[in-house]
Copies of this chain bind each other. A is one copy, B any other.
Amino acid sequence: MTATLPTHRGTDTAVRLTGVRKTFGQGTRAVTALDGIDLRVAPGEFVCLLGASGCGKTTVLNLIAGLDQPSAGTIELSTSRPAVMFQEAALMPWLTAARNVELPLRLAGVKKAERETRAAELLDLVRLSGAGDKRPHELSGGMRQRVALARALASALNREGDGAALLLMDEPFSALDAITRDFLQSELLRVWQATGTAVVFVTHDVREAVRLGQRVVLLSSKPGRVVQEWAVADLDAPEGALVTEEINGRLREVISSHAA
């Protein structure tokens, strides 16, 4: 996993959301999930998105990925197609784990032999070297999540000269044990540093957010709005613990204010 790709820090933003609103449904059943989201991610930046369950994090990622259209506001991207890891594993049930990882390479027209090597490397990275020929239904929940991670990385790493790269991840480690999670966090950081891709990372684990991110963005719920941001790059352990405390407190506030 030593692939290095040209980084594109030339443009000044990887993503910019301006006044984005998203409403699902019509009439009386309409739900406004997001309202007036402004967010800018610099090229190569690692941004963590936090918020209560159901506040609209997934919706933000979907909008950035171009899978949904905002009801209002604009979204600018410097890349034509970000790599996405969904909240569900969403593996193709008819493909083995290895073939699932190969899929983005196949779609990009990579040759079979190279595809296979790269998929094997990525499966190795997520500690699933032996499970390449298993089908999704034969994998445990955490294994499926790791295959999805490998697939997202395959998609992220396979982009040549395509603007600033961008990786969107929706709770990628939620189904993993602490040790595997630790390990994969480091691997993710390594990949991020090596490729200089911008990352938008959704998580529920505040400590994870502080550990990984350069910036933490907190969303409120119903409707989702940006409540506060913290710069958390290069904090040492005690500082990190402090910020974590602070974010947790703010999160609690936001949730209870909503519940009230």
Residues in chain A within 8 A of chain B (CB atoms): 24-25, 31, 50-54, 56-58, 87-88, 127, 138-143, 145-146, 171, 174-181, 204-206, 248, 251-252, 255-256, 259
CB distance from A148 to the nearest CB of B (A): 13
Inter-chain CA distance A174–B178, complex, in Å, is 12
Inter-chain CA distance A142–B127, complex, in Å, is 26
Partner pick for A178 among B127, B138, B139, B251, CB 8 A cutoff: B251
CB distance from A185 to the nearest CB of B (A): 14
Which residue on chain B has the smallest CB distance to residue A52? B177
Give 10 nearest A-B pairs by CB, closest first.
A53-B142, A54-B140, A177-B204, A87-B141, A54-B143, A179-B255, A174-B174, A52-B177, A53-B176, A179-B252
Partner pick for A143 among B53, B145, B252, CB 8 A cutoff: B53
B140 A178 Cβ-Cβ under 8 A: no
Inter-chain CA distance A19–B107, complex, in Å, is 47
- A to B CB contacts below 8 Å, 22 in the list: A24-B138, A25-B138, A50-B177, A52-B177, A53-B140, A54-B139, A54-B140, A56-B140, A57-B140, A87-B175, A88-B141, A127-B259, A141-B171, A171-B175, A176-B204, A177-B204, A177-B251, A179-B248, A179-B251, A179-B252, A179-B255, A181-B204
Q: Which residues of B lie under 8 Å from residue A51 when comparing CB positions?
A: 177
A175 B174 Cβ-Cβ under 8 A: yes
CB distance from A140 to the nearest CB of B (A): 4
Inter-chain CA distance A51–B175, complex, in Å, is 12
CB distance from A247 to the nearest CB of B (A): 9
Inter-chain CA distance A56–B50, complex, in Å, is 31
Q: Which residues of B lie under 8 Å from residue A178 when comparing CB positions?
A: 204-206, 248, 251
**Max count, chain B CB within 10 A of own CB: residue among A141, A177, A178:** A177
B177 A53 Cβ-Cβ under 8 A: yes
A175 B146 Cβ-Cβ under 8 A: no
Inter-chain CA distance A63–B52, complex, in Å, is 34
Q: Which residues of B lie under 8 Å from residue A181 when comparing CB positions?
A: 204
Q: Which residues of B lie under 8 Å from residue A25 when comparing CB positions?
A: 138
A53 B259 Cβ-Cβ under 8 A: no
- Known: A53-B146, A175-B204, A177-B255; 11 extra A-B contacts, CB below 8 A, are A52-B177, A53-B141, A53-B143, A53-B145, A53-B177, A54-B143, A58-B140, A177-B251, A178-B204, A178-B251, A181-B204
